[in-house]
Each structure stands twice: as structure tokens, then as C-alpha cells.
Chain A
């Protein structure tokens, strides 16, 4: 036995330590639960999108079959836009529980539609899903704390401390070996389910590798922190309390304070102002001379300058022009709303450097493309698609191209990425 190398010796200690093995099994089970339900949720979202695409297609075809001019074709047809979950979304659902990932729009003023919200049950978003990101960022450190806080105190209590120090020569490296062996057990229990789920869902090697490295670095960070605290000459309960205190500060107090400060520092326009401005602009247009609508519209679209407004009381061209002018009048507020969210997210990502749990969760969400950036990018794609719709219909409406049902097949289709 004495010739055995110290790592092997510590390893055989650990395998016989029931408490350590139980924690490793618990972590393994929890990790399996997170990725398993994550995979299920991703599948559910994919199925939903596929079903919606079918319904959307047939619904639009049915509408088109009834229409005989560009205006009503544009007015009555809705278009599904969506944000498919990435192949790593199973690990971090992120904003997908509170921000929309599907949206049906038509060629009316976009500002009146884009904030519509088809998301799930708010209580689920509030309590929060048990996904891999939450598990590894918030639960895992606590498990490490429970496993490592009494490395030395327990030996002191058992009266073996001095004996151990005397026999192993370098006590520091012995604690470190023991701590890192335990952490390695936890690391393996955490990432094996992730690797299997990644293989099942076809996640790219690079993304899985980055995720594993992040979790690895995170576990090293908490292990070192625990080892340092554990070396204090205090009772195990004092060390445990102190470590849990650190966990609370890093995972809750810093993020909560940060959110409050950032939201206070970077104001965003109130939603009410955006909606009211848009509604007033669109509704006032009915009573304004057509001139007043066409002027700002043509400023934006000089290519239709030759268009002459008709005298009749209602014309689709004018109707869609004032829908667009409604968007134009809201533009400033709407851009400020986007810019405010971008800025808040940027500051949050800066601040997360001092909150490792927030940093890990955000980083995993970035890898999974489920963070605020992804939600904003999706909103941007909806805007771009809406602009394409306008570009498609305007030649018919303002250029006088004759209505041609077969041309509707050339309609821009929303591209998921």
C-alpha cells in the first residue's frame, strides 16, 4: 500500500467514502434530468414550429384564393416567422421562456404587431426551468461547497489531522489532490450527460467543447475557493456558512443589485408611449388629407414619386402608405427601445464578470443562442422580413403592376437564420 502513488491512494479513499459517492450520483441524476427535459422541450418547440408552418401555408393559400388585388392579398395574408431552437438549446433555454420565438405578421404597421407576445405560461417563466445552465451555474457550486468545506476541519475533529500532515509530507498538495479528485468526480457526472445529449442532438463539436471547458473552469474556480476557505482554522460549520455567504453574494446579491442599477442607468422608452404614438399616427391618417400621408411616405420611397393618388375615398396604396408612416413616426422610440435593450445587455455582460454564476449561465445561453442577443436578433429578422414584404407588394401597389396570382408564389419567405 505504501508504494501506491498518492493520487491512487486518495482515489481509493474517495470511492469508499459513501457521502462523496452519493453526491456524485445525485449530480449525475440531476444532470441527466436537465438534459433529458431540455431535449424534450427542444423537440416540442421544433414540432410546434413545423405544425405552425403547415397551418400557416394552407391558411395563406386559402386567403390568396379569394383575393383579386394586391391590396387585399397583402391585407388578409399573415406570415409566420419563427426562431428555431439551436442544437445546443437543450442545455440553456434562456430567453425562450419569456421572449417570443414565434410571431405572425402581416403588412400593416409593424410597430402595432411586433410586441404581441405568444409565449407560454408566465408562472413557468417566473419559477424558471431546471435546465443545464441553471443547474451548473447555481446548484453545482453548492454541491462543491458541501463536498469540500470540511476537508480539513473534519480531519481535525477526527484527530487525524496531525497524523496526516506528518505522514504525507506535503499537506497542502494532499488536500489539493483530495479536493480535485472529488471535483473531478462531480465534473464527470456533470458533463457525461451533456456529451451524450450533445451527440444525440447533433451539436457541433466546437460548441460542446466550449461548454465543457466553461464548466471545467467554473468547477476549478469553486474548488480553489473551497480549498482556500477549508484551510481556515475554523469549525466546519463556520467555513460552510462563509462559503454559502459567498455563493449568495455572487449568485444573487451582485446580479440583483446589478440588474437594478443597470435598468436605472439605461432607461428605455415605455411600451405605452410606443403603442400610443403608433396608434395615433395610424388612426389620425384616416382623417388627414391624403397628401399629408403621401409626403412623408414618398420621402422614404422616392422611387414611387410618379404615383398619383386616386380621388376615391379608399385606396389600398394610401392605406398601406399610412401604415408605413405610422411606423416612421414611431421609429425613434422603437429604435431607442432596441438600443436600450442592447445597452442593458452589454452592461449586464460586463457586470457578469464579477458574478461567475451569471457569467456561466449567460455564456451557455450565448452558445445556445438563447440569450437576449438572440432574442433581439430574431426581432431584427422579423423587421427585415416585414421590410421584404413591403418591397414585394409596393411595385404592385404603387407601380401599377397588374395583379397576378402566380406572382404571389414569388412572395418572400421567412428564412429562419
Chain B
């Protein structure tokens, strides 16, 4: 054990002597700290702004004057997607997805206004976040420091005397690995800061800690890979060229190819296209604005029977409101069927991308990071679902007011004159059917379990590489 420590300490001493290593690390840490702070400030501002807009939208809805309830169904409401606490580290798909949805009766609108739609476009790598720095650039730093670990000793003919003294090759590799591990731990400090900040903003400790753990594992995979290449190739230039090529393949090429594979592998019809099919289904339903529509004959008959009356005018409820409720329910079922189908296709595309985590640890860590941070596709769909259920609730709440508080006779005579119009205006206290909206991430355990597969990939990467390193250490040749 002592020998391991000594070797690790030597490695550190070597790094600290290298001006290049020190200056690159300093540059990296400065960038990382700057990006961490800027992202935290930016997401904090986003969060504040969206919460503010949400409050404003609710206030506006509640302060509407007395009205016919169906006017409020069309008046509609806005919801805003507040960013998850950990988005200050990994904003995930936040910038490329719409932030708000207009909710109204009889329709499911799409989310509008993404940040990327209005941002200055400066190329594929210009959305720099702390998460991207860890995923893409931290491995470079590990390669820079670690590539020489074994090959340097071999080229300096220092391995032979060590081995001859009876030092086990595995001890040498363990020492180098310990040095890299301690370096990786230092690199995690800015992430630890982000994670603590997220905890103070209401994130669960377990989720934050898991995020740190996932990145720790990821950087260990790179450290092991670096040691593996450093101890297997005969020349330092070959070692660094191989590692650089692996880095290029793992962080830039394979992820982008995975996108091509997924988009061709699961072709997905856009919303406009599925809307045509959806309209065909929806048109089979009755028009909820017209209580005399033949589609509601059965409903009418059963109502008349239930209340034991002959004419709809004699019902205790307003049939127009009842019909509106039924029509909204039926239509929503159709809309949801199509929406879920679409979400399902998108999830299959994303699963296909995540499967490429078997080929590059970068995709494994990226998927796990977004899942744990609550900034992945699952959470975007969660937002859409929460928005939809809020929409359905308040629309049906208003339809209920329509059915139970507004008399049918008044309702159909509303356009006769000013006085009859006044009769159908419902008291604005009824607008309280609108619930507050506050987007929250899924529970920690749900997030962790959706990150499970990707975490498993990282563990297997680590396991395989550790096994190889042990094998190499056992028969390390000078």
C-alpha cells in the first residue's frame, strides 16, 4: 500500500513540475468556474422570470370580470416551464424546447418560444454549460496529464529497475491510478458547488450526490482508458495520438452519428402531419358547442330519463354545459392518444441514442446527467402532461359551472337583448377553478431509475477497463 502512495506522490510531483500541465489546468479551471457561475446566474434569472410570468398569468385569469363560462374556456391560460434546480449545472434540453404553452378549450397547443430560436448562432459547440465541459473537455485534461503515466517511465527506461526491485506491475498501475483519481476528485469541486447550490434551491441531496457520483465514474473511465493506452503502446507519440483519436470519436463523432441513426431509425411524423389523422378522428365526435348535434342524442335521452322529464328545458342542469363536458372529455381522449403516440416515438429515438452509450461513455454520462438533473426528454413530456391535465381540469371546471349554475333557458336566449346577456354572466369567483401551476421534476427515485441503464453502462465500462488494467499490471514488461 505504501508503494502505491509513493508512486502516486511521485506522479503528482512530476505534474507540478510541468509548466504546460499547470497552465492548461489553470485555464481549464478558470473556464469551468466562469461557466459554472454564468450558468447558475442565467438559469436563476430564467427561473425567476418564468415564475414571475406564471404568477402574472394566473392573476390575469383570476381577475377576469363576470363572464359567460364558455368565454373563459376560450380565454384560456398560460403555463410556464420553470427550470429544474440542477439545470444550473446541466440545462439539458431547456434551451431547445418551448418555455410556455397556451392552454384553451378543444385544443392542445405546442410549447412556444425556445431560447435557441432567438439566440446568436455561433456553431455547434457554442452552448457551453458546466455539464458539457465535464462531458467533452475534462477527458482531454485527463489525457494530457495521464497519457505519459506508464509510457514515460518505459521510454526513460525507469520501469525495468522498478520491476527488478520486485515492485508488482499492478502496484505501479494502482499508484498512477490513485494519482489520476485524486486529480479527478479535485476536478469535481466546481460540480460539488453547483450540486450544493441546487440543494439549497430545493433539490434532493441524493439526486445531487448521484450527479456528482456519475461524473466521478465517467472521469474514472477516462482515467482507466488513458492508463490502458499508456501501458499498451510502444511509443509516447502513438499513445497520445490514439487517445486523442478516441476522444474525437467518443465526444464528437459517435454522439452526432447516434443522432443520425436515431432520426433515420425511428422516423417520426411531425405534429402537423399527425394532426390530419387526429382531425379525422375528432370530426367523428360531435361539436360540443351544439347540444342538438346528433352525436349527443344518447346523452340527451339518458339525461331526460335520469331527471324524469320530457324537455331539456326542464332538466335541473344545463344540457349545453353537460354536452360541453362530454365533448371535451371525448376530444381530449383523442388528442391524448395522438400526443402519447408522438411522445412514445420521441422516447424511442432518445433510447436509441442512449444505447450508443455502449460505444461511448460520453453518451452514457450525458443521458444519466440529464435524467438526474430533470432536464431530459422525460421531464419535457412530464411538463406537457402536467400542462394538459391543468388544461383539462380548468376547462371541465368551467363546463361544470356552465352545466350547474347557468340555466338552459337563459343560455339559449342570451343574445336577445342586453338584459338577457347580463343573466348569463357568471360570477368571477368561479374562475377559481384554475389551479396553480408549478412545474416540478419527477421524484428522485424515478429520475435515478430512468438514469439506471446509463449508469449501468458506465459501471460496465469501468469494470471492463479495470479488469484489463489488472491483467496488464500483472504482466507489465519494461
Residues of A within 8 A of B (CB): 19, 30, 33, 37, 40-41, 44, 48, 51-52, 55, 59, 80, 95, 98-99, 102-104, 112, 115-130, 134, 137-139, 142-143, 146, 150, 153-154, 157, 236-238, 240-242, 244-245, 248, 251-256, 258-260, 262-263, 266, 268, 270-272, 275-276, 279-280, 283, 286-287, 313-314, 337, 340-341, 344-345, 347-348, 351-352, 355, 357-358, 361-362, 371-372
B271 x A357 contact (CB < 8 A): no
Tell me which of A259, A270, A275, A280 contacts B122 (CB under 8 A). Answer: A259
Given contacts A121-B346, A134-B256, A351-B122, 10 further A-B contacts (CB under 8 A): A40-B264, A123-B346, A127-B258, A128-B256, A128-B259, A256-B128, A258-B126, A347-B120, A358-B123, A371-B121
B276 x A55 contact (CB < 8 A): yes
Cβ contacts B258-296/A at 8 Å (1 or 0 each): 111011100111111101100100000000000000000
A276-B57 in contact given A236-B237, A355-B122 (Cβ < 8 Å):
yes
Tell me which of B57, B257, B376 contacts A33 (CB under 8 A). Answer: B257
**Chain B proximity of A182: nearest CB distance (Å):** 14
Q: A245 to B248, alpha carbons, bound, how many Å?
A: 14
**Chain B proximity of A99: nearest CB distance (Å):** 6
Chain B residues within an 8 Å CB radius of A287: 65
A142 x B349 contact (CB < 8 A): no
Chain A residues within an 8 Å CB radius of B269: 48
B31 x A253 contact (CB < 8 A): yes
Q: Is B60 an interface residue (CB 8 A)?
A: yes
B123 x A238 contact (CB < 8 A): no
Beta-carbon nearest neighbor of B380 in chain A: A122
Q: A271 to B95, alpha carbons, bound, how many Å?
A: 14
A146-B377 in contact given A116-B112, A129-B256, A348-B121 (Cβ < 8 Å):
no
Q: A347 to B256, alpha carbons, bound, how many Å?
A: 27
B128 x A253 contact (CB < 8 A): yes
**Chain B proximity of A65: nearest CB distance (Å):** 13
Beta-carbon nearest neighbor of B113 in chain A: A271
B237 x A116 contact (CB < 8 A): no
A-B CB proximity, top 5 nearest: A271-B113, A130-B256, A256-B128, A255-B122, A255-B126
B264 x A245 contact (CB < 8 A): no
A272 x B113 contact (CB < 8 A): yes
A41-B263 in contact given A122-B96, A276-B78 (Cβ < 8 Å):
yes
Beta-carbon nearest neighbor of A128 in chain B: B124
B148 x A237 contact (CB < 8 A): yes
Q: Is the interface of B mostly helix, strand, loop or mixed?
A: helix
Cβ contacts B402-428/A at 8 Å (1 or 0 each): 000000000000010000000000000
**Chain A proximity of B360: nearest CB distance (Å):** 12
**Chain A proximity of B146: nearest CB distance (Å):** 12
Selected A-B contacts with CB under 8 Å, 21 pairs = A33-B260, A51-B273, A119-B270, A120-B268, A122-B97, A123-B346, A124-B262, A124-B263, A128-B259, A129-B256, A134-B256, A157-B237, A259-B119, A259-B120, A271-B112, A272-B57, A280-B60, A283-B71, A287-B65, A313-B415, A344-B118
Q: A240 to B240, alpha carbons, bound, how many Å?
A: 9
Chain A residues within an 8 Å CB radius of B74: 283
Cβ contacts B93-117/A at 8 Å (1 or 0 each): 1011111101000000111111011
Q: A122 to B118, alpha carbons, bound, how many Å?
A: 16
Chain B residues within an 8 Å CB radius of A118: 110, 270-272
Chain B residues within an 8 Å CB radius of A371: 121
Tell me which of B240, B260, B264, B268 contacts A236 (CB under 8 A). Answer: B240
Q: A117 to B271, alpha carbons, bound, how many Å?
A: 9
Chain B residues within an 8 Å CB radius of A251: 123, 125
Chain A residues within an 8 Å CB radius of B271: 118
A59 x B122 contact (CB < 8 A): no
Chain B residues within an 8 Å CB radius of A242: 20
A142 x B122 contact (CB < 8 A): no
Q: A362 to B126, alpha carbons, bound, how many Å?
A: 12
Q: A153 to B98, alpha carbons, bound, how many Å?
A: 51
B256 x A120 contact (CB < 8 A): no
A127 x B112 contact (CB < 8 A): no
Chain A residues within an 8 Å CB radius of B191: none
A142 x B244 contact (CB < 8 A): yes
In the complex, number of A-B residue pairs with CB atoms less than 8 Å apart: 248
Q: A351 to B20, alpha carbons, bound, how many Å?
A: 29
Q: A2 to B240, alpha carbons, bound, how many Å?
A: 34
Q: A103 to B260, alpha carbons, bound, how many Å?
A: 24
Q: A393 to B293, alpha carbons, bound, how many Å?
A: 29
**Chain A proximity of B429: nearest CB distance (Å):** 19
Q: A251 to B140, alpha carbons, bound, how many Å?
A: 15
A271 x B100 contact (CB < 8 A): yes
Chain A residues within an 8 Å CB radius of B126: 252, 255-256, 258-259, 358
**Chain B proximity of A159: nearest CB distance (Å):** 14
Tell me which of B110, B270, B276 contacts A59 (CB under 8 A). Answer: B276
Cβ contacts B32-63/A at 8 Å (1 or 0 each): 00010010000000000100010011001000
A137 x B123 contact (CB < 8 A): yes
Q: Is B89 an interface residue (CB 8 A)?
A: no
Chain B residues within an 8 Å CB radius of A55: 273, 276
Tell me which of A129, A138, A256, A348 contacts B259 (CB under 8 A). Answer: A129
Tell me which of B92, B99, B248 contacts A271 (CB under 8 A). Answer: B99
B122 x A258 contact (CB < 8 A): yes
Q: Is B320 an interface residue (CB 8 A)?
A: no
Q: Is B156 an interface residue (CB 8 A)?
A: no
Cβ contacts B235-265/A at 8 Å (1 or 0 each): 0110011001100100011011111101110
Chain B residues within an 8 Å CB radius of A146: 241, 244-245, 248
**Chain A proximity of B77: nearest CB distance (Å):** 10
**Chain B proximity of A75: nearest CB distance (Å):** 13
Chain B residues within an 8 Å CB radius of A254: 122
Chain B residues within an 8 Å CB radius of A351: 120, 122
A344-B120 in contact given A19-B241, A240-B244, A256-B127 (Cβ < 8 Å):
yes
B100 x A272 contact (CB < 8 A): yes
Cβ contacts B10-40/A at 8 Å (1 or 0 each): 0000000000100010010001000100100
Q: Is B447 an interface residue (CB 8 A)?
A: no
Chain B residues within an 8 Å CB radius of A80: 272
A275-B112 in contact given A251-B123, A259-B126, A348-B122 (Cβ < 8 Å):
yes
**Chain B proximity of A100: nearest CB distance (Å):** 9
**Chain A proximity of B36: nearest CB distance (Å):** 13
Q: Is B391 an interface residue (CB 8 A)?
A: no
A127 x B353 contact (CB < 8 A): yes
Q: A263 to B111, alpha carbons, bound, how many Å?
A: 22
Q: Which of B67-103 contact A (CB under 8 A)?
A: 71, 74-76, 78, 80, 92-93, 95-100, 102
B377 x A121 contact (CB < 8 A): yes
Chain A residues within an 8 Å CB radius of B350: 121, 123
A130-B237 in contact given A275-B112, A345-B121 (Cβ < 8 Å):
no
Beta-carbon nearest neighbor of B102 in chain A: A275
B349 x A121 contact (CB < 8 A): yes
**Chain A proximity of B124: nearest CB distance (Å):** 5
Beta-carbon nearest neighbor of A237 in chain B: B240
B237 x A276 contact (CB < 8 A): no
Q: A117 to B273, alpha carbons, bound, how many Å?
A: 13
Chain B residues within an 8 Å CB radius of A48: 269-270, 273
Chain B residues within an 8 Å CB radius of A40: 264
Chain B residues within an 8 Å CB radius of A153: 237
B125 x A138 contact (CB < 8 A): yes
Q: Is B5 an interface residue (CB 8 A)?
A: no
Q: Is B193 an interface residue (CB 8 A)?
A: no
Tell me which of A134, A263, A279, A283 contacts B124 (CB under 8 A). Answer: A134
B264 x A244 contact (CB < 8 A): no
A44-B236 in contact given A129-B256, A345-B120 (Cβ < 8 Å):
no
Which among B78, B119, B346 has the greatest number of chain A C-beta atoms within 10 A?
A: B119
Q: Is B147 an interface residue (CB 8 A)?
A: yes
**Chain A proximity of B98: nearest CB distance (Å):** 6
Tell me which of B96, B102, B117, B248 contacts A279 (CB under 8 A). Answer: B102
